[in-house]
Structure 1
Amino acid sequence: MKKIEIKASLTVYDSLDELSEDVKALMVKAVAARKNAYAPYSKFRVGAALKLKNNEIVIGNNQENAVYPSGLCAERVAIYQAGALYPNVAIETIAISASSDVFNVLTPTPPCGACRQSIFEYEENQKSAIEIYFMGETGKVVKADSVKDLLPLTFGKATLNNI
């Protein structure tokens, strides 16, 4: 038997004011995208904004459906749009903001598991890490240098090639 210890390193900022101007501007775009989310069922709104290597900004927000599995998270809406519009351009940074129509979201809200897996796929394909910044409505902002800090045991091409 062997014990493996997994560590992750995250940076926590007290507010948007501590971020660089570029990242702050990206988060402002995520907040704006969040406000346009289609969330009539959960009342939980998420916005995402991506900065690409060519300096383009791509946004997304969650899109719900009465048939719950048919909806899509903000992060994947933005990532897939970036993949469709700029298929060979690397994603450098993702900013994510969440709010609720029912309560105040004051805790930084990270991507769900499915979104983490999708972000990993893009990191793996572009062979470079994607910085991820996430927050609630206001307050603290958390930064992960790579999705591997949020999803340390990845499932990717190497896993499938070993079958």
Structure 2
Amino acid sequence: MKMKKKIEITVSLEVIQKSEWSKEDRSLIERAIHAVEHAHAPYSNFMVGTALLLDNGQIFSANNQENVSFPVGICAERAVLSYAMGNFPNNRPVKLAVVAKRRSDSTWATVTPCGLCRQTINEYEVKFGHPIEILMLNPGEEILKASGIDQLLPFRFNDLNS
């Protein structure tokens, strides 16, 4: 009997209690929370906010922008990365915070970047040769921290010529 080859990858997220948040993490989460309030989500009522820290210390925030023609909308993560990389193409993204909630809820929803956003994050990790830390707020106000996109997208699509 022929043995089948198996590929295994272990992924993990760190859970950070609110009392243990760093000043930098707190600042990013607060900026993402502020951004979520301005999300344009009239169809799903699911509002997402994000904040991105660049290696030059600048922080940018964005939110999801829906459109009645559903494929035309953009996620908060891709919006902030597109803006930052379009205007500061030589500054490496260091950390990305993501928060989300339903318009009618008072608590945060556990959310991770969608597949398109994960692939976009991967693109900038490849470009800069460095992981982007991803912070995701959950309902218990803990941060779920991924040390890089490989923890959320272990079998990602990379440049096939490299």
TM-score by length of 2: 0.93
- Could you tell me which residue of structure 1 aligns to residue 8 of structure 2? 5
CA distance in 2, matches of 1:103, 1:49: 21
- The structural deviation recorded for 1:4 is 1.3
* Amino acid in the other structure paired with 1:9: S
* Amino acid in the other structure paired with 1:152: P
Identity percentage over the alignment?
A: 39
Q: What residue ranges of structure 2 are gaps of 5+ in the alignment?
A: none
- The structural deviation recorded for 1:137 is 5.6
- The structural deviation recorded for 1:122 is 0.4
- Could you tell me which residue of structure 1 aligns to residue 26 of structure 2? 24
Stretches of 4+ aligned residues off by more than 4 angstroms: 104-107
- Could you tell me which residue of structure 1 aligns to residue 88 of structure 2? 86
- The structural deviation recorded for 1:101 is 1.1
- Could you tell me which residue of structure 2 aligns to residue 140 of structure 1? 142
- Could you tell me which residue of structure 2 aligns to residue 52 of structure 1? 54
1:39 to 34, 38, 41: 41
CA distance in 1, matches of 2:12, 2:139: 23
CA contact (8 A) 2:99 2:108 kept: no
- The structural deviation recorded for 1:91 is 0.2
Q: Which has the larger radius of gyration?
A: 2
Q: What residue ranges of structure 1 are gaps of 5+ in the alignment?
A: none
Paired positions, count: 159
Secondary structure at 2:53 match in 1: strand
| CA deviation profile, 1:4-39 (whole Å, cap 9, x unmatched) | 111012101233x32101111111000000111000
* Amino acid in the other structure paired with 2:43: Y
TM-score by length of 1: 0.92
CA contact (8 A) 1:35 1:45 kept: yes
CA 1:118–1:10 in structure 2 vs 1: closer, same or farther (change >3 Å)? Answer: same
CA 1:144–1:42 in structure 2 vs 1: closer, same or farther (change >3 Å)? Answer: same
